[in-house]
Amino acid sequence: MTQRERKAARPFGLARELLAWYDVHRRRLPWREAPSPYKTLVSEFMLQQTTVATVLPYFERFLCRFPTLAALARAPESAVLAAWSGLGYYTRARNLHRAAIVSLRDHDGDLPHEESALRRLPGVGPYTAAAIAAIAFDEHAFAVDGNSARVIARIAAIRNDIRSPAVRQRIKTRGEVEVPTARAGDFMQAVMELGALVCTPKNPSCTQCPIRPSCGAYRAGLTASIPRVAPKPARRVVHVACVALQDPATSKPRFAVVRRDDNELLGGTWSLPEAVITPGQSREAIAHRAAALVGLTADKLEPIGVVRQIFTHRDVTAFVFRGNLKANRRASSNKLRWVFPDQLSQIAISSFAKKTLRLVAETPSTTHDRRTNKLRTNKQRLTPRARIVDSTTAPRST
């Protein structure tokens, strides 16, 4: 934003009241205690599309495992992904790791301070660069996320769709005008905190808002309709067959897991072999195909249940099968491992994969009925787990 643009946008003068409110009402969060640029970096990556409540235990475990930027940069990617397991959006973990490596290599082991330089780090977009510049280094920057966009849209009574790039730039321009000379980082956090605690998407607590006199939406009675958000496109519905193949050569149950490609959903994590089911295809046939794709052949497969997961852009239903590996086809590769249940914590496993593996572990095996020549399944055991829903989509800092 140029000096001329700042002068053209008349400030509302939010900083004084908002900072006074923030000093009293801010939440005690681990990245705010003994703050450091590294803590800010990790928290901002974790908080992308993920709630504060979800992030809290992961953040503390991650900092224990990788206490410094240098420790993170020197760690193998597999260890970083394992520490991230269950948090979702695994591209974030890989990019965070790469950003640490670049910082160690190109910036003498420190994060760059300027918003423009931060943008050049892997995985750092406009929001993250502005947030780190402001919060970690008190740079004059304004980060536009769901919370800050909502606050500014209501203050300025912006009635356009806040997902529009032009409107987001307008919000950023308005926000930058409000950033004070001192405590730029606290101001940025105060705006996001207000959006998380008071200026909420529905039923905002306007009577508790310290900047209510400046709010154009409040004065016009439009807080329920501002901000305007265009509907998201419907999620793509995907059905897959997963196969849990047990190694009959071991006395304890040991299953095959495969590493997902980096460029696919949940890339870099380990899961049961799976393949997409298209209309008209047999689920069991696709389960056999999922095994064959990684060089494995199964004996008879039994269906044991269904797991459903809601991702940002996909609604995935997995039909889970179980069977024994044929003894003469035990394959191995750098993308396939045989793991015992107590080894799962040592590799990167998504919440989705954990659910399928839990279903396998907790569902009794079927027995063969000689009279009917069919498999008999304990259906009562399967019913409670027929649909397991977990949405990993959420706004930042709520």
Give the domains, in start order, of the chain with CATH numbers.
Answer: 3-219 (1.10.340.30), 236-385 (3.90.79.10)
- Would you say residue 231 has pLDDT above 90? no
Q: Tell me the whole-structure pTM to 2 decimals.
A: 0.73
pLDDT band per the 50, 70, 90 thresholds, residue 333:
low
Mean pLDDT of 135-161: 95
Percentage of the chain lying above the pLDDT 70 cut:
87
Highest mean pLDDT among 36-40, 158-162, 378-382: 36-40
- Would you say residue 372 has pLDDT above 60? no
Cα 127–chain centre separation: 15
Mean pLDDT of 249-257: 80
Percentage of the chain lying above the pLDDT 90 cut:
58
CB 308 within 8 A of CB 316: yes
CB 90 within 8 A of CB 83: no
What pLDDT is stored for residue 334 in this prediction? 72
Mean pLDDT of 363-381: 46
Mean of pLDDT over the chain: 85
pLDDT band per the 50, 70, 90 thresholds, residue 383:
very low
| 188-202, 306-320, 382-396: least confident range | 382-396
What pLDDT is stored for residue 393 in this prediction? 32
Cα 100 to Cα 109: distance, rounded to the nearest angstrom: 8
Catalytic residue list:
44
Mean pLDDT of 85-95: 88
CB 96 within 8 A of CB 45: yes
What pLDDT is stored for residue 10 in this prediction? 63
pLDDT band per the 50, 70, 90 thresholds, residue 327:
low
- Would you say residue 207 has pLDDT above 60? yes
| 66-80, 178-192, 309-323: least confident range | 309-323
- Would you say residue 7 has pLDDT above 90? no
What pLDDT is stored for residue 392 in this prediction? 34
Cα 168 to Cα 227: distance, rounded to the nearest angstrom: 12
Mean pLDDT of 372-396: 36
Q: Which residues pair with 339 in a beta bridge?
A: 255
Mean pLDDT of 292-301: 85
For tokens 């207000």, name the residue. Answer: 194
CB 147 within 8 A of CB 398: yes
pLDDT band per the 50, 70, 90 thresholds, residue 366:
low
Q: What angle do CA 250, 255, 257 make, to 5 degrees?
A: 145
